[in-house]
Structure 1
């Protein structure tokens, strides 16, 4: 009696992976971790599985690279620890694969032209986009490529099909709720840029929390997430609202600038003015006083963006992700 040949499912069960991973190993896909590849190869040998050669020949041709395109050409970009942590997260997942990571700063016309050449030449398998502004041409360029595209964050003009974001609105709401719970009533904010989704979402969270408490939301100045804009915004708030007793600052970098101005103006933190930031980058633990802030999982955002993209490249249709935020209480509030 002829024995039944082993199946793909049996290989997957023996290796402790999905059948999709087995198929990727058989088809020599580039983005399989070394550990998974070794487990599948060992299982194939143990069960005596013989891959279908004709099926392997139909495997999609891979270029072996993915693009991370950031809508910025600011030379100070990498001084912003948010971007550094996102890139660290992206790289951590890429290192588990055989893929190369191509990084583009593509806010300028020249930067976008360079990216377009790569995409037109099919020099990459997929694209991740970060720091997009409203009606950003980078989004249209990536969509026109026909490649899988994952957004880090959402856009104001549309919700992309695939994205990974943090709960910016909920986090800002929690920050202001906490300030209210400590007895603060004259609360201001230095917003992020209001032409990007994160900036608007954090501003809306600020307004919602104050409205629910029956408090004024009129103490508002706009910033751009930089330390300099946080300092400028804090100075304006103090000039225009000298009775201010708390401030929600929409990024930790801006909050560091705000703390400097409060110190220069002789305001005690948190005695006179309590301060809460957003992100929980390393700087938040190093400010004087240490910064109470909303932690978003920045490195995890980069990791999950990459994982979603790899699943898209494999022909899957993953769901978008919104990562949770949490309040971290330190000395500034």
Structure 2
């Protein structure tokens, strides 16, 4: 019997006495409420509130074989967690969704090979029930290891190379890119460049595919530069494009953060946006409305994506087959185009 400041910690026996039910009924309520009548369920929940009973998570995990926690795993350099606002939105959304399930969220960042090794060892040792995998990369050894150890997981974005094996929730990158390129063309732009994300990530690959699909025979390799989703890479890629093709009059950038970097380079070169060069981004992060000029971008429903990831992960943890969900993107027009 635990003691805390002279007060005895309430037990299942206390809850059962107040509710007027057996201890077995209380236990069934605590483990999901199966085979419990509505009246008994209401009585037990009222007794839990009145007694201040709190479940012993460690003891429950010994019985169920579960940790009752989930990992939010970001396989990117640590600085991107703080620089890219998308990750904060996904983290908050996942934490809110898990709170409704009374499950804690463990934040893990693994941007190096050694960090990924340590995280994989921790996760596969059973310290979490499942993994929300953020920013997956092609040939990701973390994914391979988790699959091998049968650790439940859900990826944010299409997991390249594992599409039929790993549950995932994604925005429609191809359609979103096509819509942005069409928007730029409809505004009279004739030399539309692009700054891609890393080509081992779903956003990098699929948004470039959408760009190519929309341009068709007009696609020109000289109008393509590559970034890594950082602001600095957007600056460098924009400079590369301008040096190579000074006649470009628009650029579709595969993330808002890289687009902010591109705007910095354009301003340094004395080019007006959108007068000389129109700029479109992707994400509609909080950053998009605050840069100058405010950025036209494709909105990803990140809150819905994170909540759906939690729902699918809970299904996989409970033995259901992996599923995939794709959400449409929405064009948000501002003054950069």
Q: Given the two structures, how large is their TM-score scaled by the length of structure 1?
A: 0.81
Match of 1:215 among 209, 215, 218: 218
User: What residue is the counterpart of 1:170 in the other structure?
Assistant: 175
Q: Matches of residues 258-269 of structure 1 in structure 2 within 5 Å?
A: 258-269=262-273
Residue from 186, 189, 194 that aligns with 1:181:
186
Q: 2:140 aligns with which of 136, 139, 146?
A: 136
User: After alignment, is 311-320 or 180-189 more displaced?
Assistant: 311-320
| 1:289 CA drift (Å) | 0.6
> What residue is the counterpart of 2:50 in the other structure?
none
Residue number in structure 2 paired with 1:280: 284
* Cα distance, 1:331–1:68 mapped onto 2, change above 3 Å: same
- Of 155-164 and 247-256, deviating more is 155-164
Residue pair 2:159, 2:166 contacting (<8 A) in 1 also: no
Deviations 1:183-216 (A, max 9, x none): 11111011111111210100010111111xx423
Worse-superposed segment, 127-136 or 68-77: 68-77
Looking at structure 2, the residues matched to 217 and 185 of structure 1 have their Cα atoms a distance apart, in angstroms, of: 12
User: Partners of 1:224 and 1:113 in 2: how far apart?
Assistant: 22
Q: What is aligned with 1:51?
A: none
Unaligned runs of 5+ in 2: 1-24, 44-62
1:31-60, Cα deviation, whole Å (9 max, x unpaired)? x7xxxx7xx978243899xxxxxxxxxx84
Residues 226, 120 of structure 1: alpha-carbon distance in 2 compared, 3 angstrom cutoff: closer
Mapped contact 1:87–1:299 kept (Cα < 8 A): no
**Superposition pairs of residues 38-117 of structure 1, within 5 angstroms:** 43-45=38-40, 60-117=64-121
Name the structure 2 match of 1:204. Answer: 209
In terms of mean alpha carbon deviation, does 157-166 or 190-199 score higher?
Answer: 157-166
Matched-pair contact (CA < 8 Å) for 1:106–1:138: no
Shift of 1:245: 0.8
CA RMSD of aligned residues (A): 2.5
**3-state SS of the aligned residue for 1:156?**
coil
Distance 1:293 1:47 in 2: 48
* TM-score, normalised relative to structure 2: 0.80
**Distance in 1 of aligned mates of 2:241 and 2:280:** 15
**What SS is found at the alignment partner of 2:306?**
helix
Tell me which residue corresponds to 1:26. Answer: 28
What is the rounded CA distance, in whole Å, between the counterparts of 2:256 and 2:120 in structure 1?
Answer: 34
The equivalent position to 2:196 in structure 1, one of 191, 195, 202, is 191
Tell me the alpha carbon deviations over residues 103-129 of structure 1, each in whole angstroms, 9 at most, x when there is no partner. Answer: 211232332333233334312111121
Moved over 6 A (4+): none
